[in-house]
Amino acid sequence: MKTEFSLAQLADPDIAEADKILRACVHCGFCTATCPTYVLLGDELDSPRGRIYLIKEMLEKDKPPTQEVVKHIDRCLSCLACMTTCPSGVNYMHLVDQARVRIEQHYTRPLPERALRAMLALVLPRPGLFRAGMILARLARPFTALLPEPETASASPTLWRRLRAMLALAPGRLPAKGPAAGSVFPAQGDRRGRVALLQGCAQQVLAPRINQAAINLLTRHGIEVVLVKDEQCCGALTHHLGQDGDALARARGNIAVWQSEAERGGLDAILVTASGCGTVIKDYGFMLREDPDFAGPAARISALAKDITEYLAGIDLQPGQQQHRDIVVAYHSACSLQHGQKITALPKELLSKNGFVVKDVPESHLCCGSAGTYNILQPDIANKLRDRKVANIAMVKPDMIAAGNIGCMVQIAGGTSVPVVHTVELLDWATGGRRPGPN
């Protein structure tokens, strides 16, 4: 794609990067076939190619984004299916991240929307506030019927529609808190390794059983696990809202505490059980590439970050009792894992090797609609994607559904009665841990 940035514009490293990405696009449109919003809405401007044109124009003209541009960028899930499909290696992720930052900095959203986004950015990354918010949401749920309900689903939802969606996502009950930050779980037997386990923010409130399963599995196999003190949200939530100041501050904070833990006790890896977080931590090196103090440490931390399945693939997992044999598992491939981190076959291989009957889900490349805060901000598109995902999963008649990302787990569980569990919970069970179930 031909671009027309001035030399002055190209002196900005972000614009130079955008220019490189835009020039790689050859307009072929292959990406449209796998883009969930294009598949649902059929509008070229809701396809990757259409959005790339909109972003190009916005950046080249260097003017505040228009309402039309904002509408179509907001509808993008950042699922990155387009990056898997693109034959030219267009880095859509870095382009749309930049577009979201520009929108956040130069576009004034209506006041109710600004308030909702500010509330999400404040509450979601802070487990204490998030827990309190979930309790309040549960208490408020009976009053949902009093909120005005739109007659039809819309790709431009109202504030009320978004509030309804947020209340609907609150769980009926919250589990007890998991282990505290700063805890160290010694290896059983001879120590073969030492890792940090990302504590996550929403996940530690909604499903502490996931990291507990990871800790049990790892320590049983001789790996010491540390929950690093003063670690915070990885920044993914605010990064996807375009609030880069907040996201980068969180990245720097985490890099500092992980680096000092690595220097003090040694770390073989930083393990992540929420693939949405893993994708962003693996991108810290890029996000901080222009920061003279953090560029090097960020690249080292990104190299240390691993999805839990990547690390487990290097361990000889020991079988436990075999009650799980013949359990049919539908494996839902989270977008952040399959498109963001290119981890596709590995989790399925681990599950099969450890005794589960693993089934691929039809249309597995399509997002379930979770996408961070997307199911709150764009509930009607998100619900359509969830229903489509659940119908595809039902076709393989599973006993359980496995996924590697808490957002997908909550989203899919909202549309099915089949138990939805994390891949690591199944692997823990297969190697002597407890059967996955409610917290």
Binding residues vs ligand SF4 (CB under 6 A): 25-31, 35-37, 48-49, 51-52, 76-82, 85-86, 88, 90, 92
Of the pair 200, 369, the CB lying nearest ligand SF4 is at 369
Closer by beta carbon to ligand SF4, 386 or else 422: 386
DSSP per-residue codes, 398-425: -SEEEES-HHHHHHHHTT-SS-EEEHHH
Which amino acid is it at 162?
R
**Sign of the C-alpha dihedral, residues 241, 409, 317, 328?**
negative
Sorted by sequence, the CB contacts under 8 Å of residue 147 that are 6+ apart come out as 160, 163, 164
Write out the two tokens for 157: 């939802």
Shortest distance in whole angstroms from residue 370 CB to ligand SF4: 12
Dist CA 197 CA 38 (whole Å):
37
Which residue number, 81 or 237, has a Cβ lying nearer to ligand SF4? 81
% helix, strand, coil for the chain, step of 5: 55, 10, 40
Order of all β-strands in the sheet with 357-360: 357-360, 328-331, 400-403, 420-422
Burial class, 87, CB count within 10 angstroms (exposed 0-12 / middle 13-18 / buried 19+): exposed
> What's phi and psi for 437, nearest 5 deg?
-170, -170
Nearer CB in complex with ligand SF4: 34/431 = 34
Q: How far is the CB of 49 from ligand SF4 (least distance, A)?
A: 4
Tell me the closest approach of the beta carbon of residue 416 to ligand SF4, in angstroms. 23
- Of 283, 368, 370, 351, nearest to 313 by C-alpha is 351
If the CB atoms of residues 192 and 384 are measured against ligand SF4, the closer one turns out to be 384
Nearer to ligand SF4, 4 or 263 (CB): 4
Residue 19 corresponds to which tokens in the numbers above? 């220019």
CB of 34 to ligand SF4, least distance (A): 6
Q: Which is nearer to ligand SF4, 41 or 181 (CB)?
A: 41
- Least distance in Å: CB of 43 to ligand SF4? 11
The set of residues, in sequence order, having a beta carbon less than 8 Å from that of 187 and lying 6+ positions away, is: 193, 194, 219, 222, 223, 224
d(CA 247, CA 408): 22
Q: How far is the CB of 32 from ligand SF4 (least distance, A)?
A: 7
Give the shortest CB-36-to-ligand SF4 separation in angstroms.
5
Shortest distance (Å) from residue 263 CB to ligand SF4: 37
Pick the closer one to ligand SF4 by CB: 20 or 192.
20
